[in-house]
Amino acid sequence: MTLIPGFQNELTQVNGQTIAYARGGSGPAVLLLHGFPQTHAMWHAVAPQLAERFTVVAPDLRGYGDSGKPLGTQNYSFRHMADDQIGLMRQLGFDQFHLVGHDRGGRTAHRLALDHPAAVASLTVMDIVPTHLLLNDLTADVARAYYHWFFLAQPEPFAENMIGHDPDMYFESCLLGWGGTALADFDPAALDAYRRAWRDPDTIRGMCADYRAALHIDFDLDAADLDTRVTCPALVLYGADGTMAKAYDVAATWRDRLTQMQSAAVPGGHFFVDEHPNATARALLDFLA
């Protein structure tokens, strides 16, 4: 039974991986990509509102949730994750779609828009600055707040063993960071879905591999594309009280990468989708309209 009201859960084989996804609604397609350390369950209150006007597809990224978890850092680049998603949408009959991503899903979405521009009707990135910029121009404040990038990226199995001792403690500390969220701000059923996923040692391994790939693979891929612009309509959404908004002019970090850009702040921190789903849905519907 799906956590998203009115949606059906499915499994399919795409790009050599099992991809789990929920689908609902009708109309033009919208693909929703979740972030760390979550699953597609993060869209439980947003997706039904979008589904009143759109066909909404909400998958688990490879390495996360119920999707496949291949071995090896080389299999976790955002390019591989993006290829999973465009393969899924083509399999579902959508050659073009609106693309929305939060956190790691936002980085996957940016890569998908770079690699497959004709497929993306619009791009929304949520509470991120570009990967290359964050790593290349790292500041002390961001390094302190986003230490997990470098902890998770340590050679296997260092982080896996430490997190595996108490996954709830570690990953809940992530949910409580980057903007002062409280556990009470998360829907209990969504929290249960996150916990079920991150208690799986293979999911812990997959998430660590995701972060290793960002440092060892994605940085170089993004460096090669610094002069490439995403030309479709784009929206940059960010949490007004999140770490990114405190450390950066978030919109400004995207201006030389997105040629048709709008931006807006949503109340809350990094996990504003969970904290303020109605405000998130309004912002998306206004943009997609």
User: Residue 38 in 3-state DSSP?
Assistant: coil
Any idea which residue has 């007004």 for tokens? 240
Using alpha carbons, select from 165, 168, 148 the residue that is nearest to residue 208. 148
- Amino acid at site 168: D
Beta strands of the chain (E only): which ranges? 8-14, 17-25, 29-33, 55-59, 97-102, 120-126, 230-239, 258-266
Say which of 60, 66, 103, 274 is annotated catalytic: 103
Residue 38: which of 218, 279, 210 has the closest Cα?
210
Active site residue 103: yes
Radius of gyration of the chain (CA): 17
Pick the catalytic residue: 44, 132, 148, 270? 270
- The DSSP string of 97-150 is EEEEEETHHHHHHHHHHHH-GGGEEEEEEES---HHHHHHT--HHHHHHTTHHH
CA 85, 211, 75, 39 torsion: positive or negative? negative
Tell me the catalytic residues. 103, 270
